[in-house]
Amino acid sequence: MKLEERLRRTVRAKGHAYNTEKAYVMRYRQFVQFVRQRRNRYIHPAELEPQLVADFLSWLANEKNVSPSTQRSALCAIKFLYSQVLGIELGELQYATARPCQKLPVVLTFGETRELLAQFSGIGRLQSELMYGCGLRISDCLSIRVKDIDFGAGTIQVNQSKGGKNRLLMLPESARTGLRQQLAFARSLFEHDKNEGMSGVQLPNALEKKASSWAKQWDWFWLFPAEQLSKDPRSGAIRRHHVGRNPYSKLFRRAKQRAKVGKAIVPHTWRHSFATHMLLQGCDMRTLQRLMGHGSIKTTELYLHVVETMGGRSKSPLDRLDEFACYETASSR
């Protein structure tokens, strides 16, 4: 069995998400290509000295100018390859670390948010409302299942988000009608698949084996199911997946143009705007950290700088120049 296939199978056996599998395989291929260019031939990773791994990480920082998070993800992928697949511990590696470049998030004002939302309709409107109203990443939004919505408690549960985290969020009252309409549409596709004897939806981690019958149950069905069936990249089964990112990304670009928003915004801007607007409403940092699913409060604190500017707590000296000049003149008398 080829090493890449062994890597894929080990990632799946450990219960990691498909996106993690793709990322690890991509970094493995990049590492192999790096070694091939250095040594002018393919060398099996088990036969390489650990210094080449350190050189690879330094190359990412110095030559590719990757971010610290990208370098860390590459390190995780290579360490997983060695420790979990090859059974080799790399030990402590000495390499050049990528220089941190902390960017402030691009945030919409309340007015821009309202205007941008007005450009959407139907399923795109509902997806936008959930991303902004709950602070969801687009991947979290599109992978919501029927069971995750609790109208009685007024909550939406996000499972297996970035870093494998789960969190419970408030259900926006404004989204209830849209959610009920979308559930009715999803139910029609569920009944169609049931009547056709389809294999059911993909289940997370080990549930595919432990509770395979759940794949055909309504509560595990997608809130945003794709209209077309497709091949599961892991099992090869023909089944219904949730909708992908591309359709919404196209809707978002068109909505931005119609709303004439002069900012470099992307779907993730909904999440940034949620965090900032929650702080502007008086939400405390610890509550926001929980709602955002941040592992560190320092990540959440990044929004404070934006809030201080948008909230008008500080003014430019240009706007108070006359005031200062008059005070200065009075003081000198």
pLDDT tens-digit map of 173-219: 999 999 999 999 999 999 999 998 888 888 887 677 777 889 899 99
The helix/strand/coil state of 168 is strand
Distance CA 169, CA 202 (A): 24
Going from the N-terminus, what domains does the chain have, and what CATH number goes with each? 3-86 (1.10.150.130), 144-241 (no CATH)
Which among 282, 286, 311 has a CA at the least distance from the CA of 299? 286
> Across the strands, what pairs with 222?
145
One DSSP character per residue, 186-228 reads HHHHHHHHHHTT-------TTHHHHSGGGGGSGGGSBSSB-SS
User: Rounded to 5 degrees, what are φ and ψ at 105?
Assistant: -70, 145
Instruction: Give me the amino acid identity at 42.
Output: Y
Just list the catalytic residues: 137, 162, 268, 271, 294, 303
63-114: pLDDT as tens digits:
998 888 899 999 999 999 999 999 999 989 999 988 876 678 899 999 999 9
Beta carbons of 310 and 276 less than 8 angstroms apart:
yes
For the whole model, what pTM was predicted? 0.78
